[in-house]
Amino acid sequence: MSQRTLIIVKPDAVKKNAIGQILARFEKEGLRIVAARMVYLSKREAEGFYQVHRERPFFGSLTDFMSSGPCFPVVLEGGEETIPKVRAILGATDPAQADEGTLRKQFATNIERNAVHGSDGPETAATEISYFFRGLEL
Ligand code: GDP
């Protein structure tokens, strides 16, 4: 069955005018855009999205960043291995550790402002997709 995943072009990459380049890369790799929208998260909404990280020391800073400007969530689909495929295109969380040719290597500023989010598994993907999109939009 074809997997779906959620990516978010984060506020740093939106500010850099990089939405188009990031989506073009996914399309070039054979992924299809199922749904997309621009959203300006409130602090509470950013906290809701990153609930799993609420105990982490960077939670406050991360949710400040994610609510500092508009971001661009996108649902992608591209076969049975969509989730690992997208994660590979993103590269490591910390751009200093990311391989050449990955989106984070190209666009991220630092470990927090790392340009693009990607779901880390099928269950997370389902939860994250429904955080931003209604069934009708998919
Ligand atoms: P991901 O799956 O690669 O996005 O990484 P995680 O799920 O571990 O972390 C979620 C997000 O929190 C990352 O994409 C970063 O934006 C941020 N983050 C992760 N680790 C750190 C850290 O050590 N410091 C800060 N400030 N932010 C971090």
Other residues' Cβ atoms within 10 Å of the Cβ of residue 116: 27
87-137 confidence digits (pLDDT tens): 999 999 999 999 999 999 999 999 999 999 999 999 999 999 999 999 889
Ligand 1 atom at shortest distance from the alpha carbon of 61: 26
Could you tell me the domains of the chain?
Answer: 4-40+72-137 (3.30.70.141)
Q: What is the pTM of this model?
A: 0.97
User: Which residue minimizes the CA distance to atom 12 of ligand 1?
Assistant: 112
Alpha carbon distances (Å) from 91 to 110, 117, 118: 13, 10, 10
Write down how long the chain is.
Answer: 138
Instruction: Indicate the helix (H) or strand (E) that contains 14.
Output: helix 11-15
Which among 4, 25, 87, 117 is annotated as catalytic? Answer: 117
Test site for ligand 1: of 6, 107, 114, most ligand atoms within 8 A of the Cβ: 114
Other residues' Cβ atoms within 10 Å of the Cβ of residue 23: 18
Structural contact between residues 109 and 95, judged by C-beta atoms closer than 8 angstroms: yes
Is residue 53 among the annotated active site residues? no
pLDDT above 90 for 69: yes
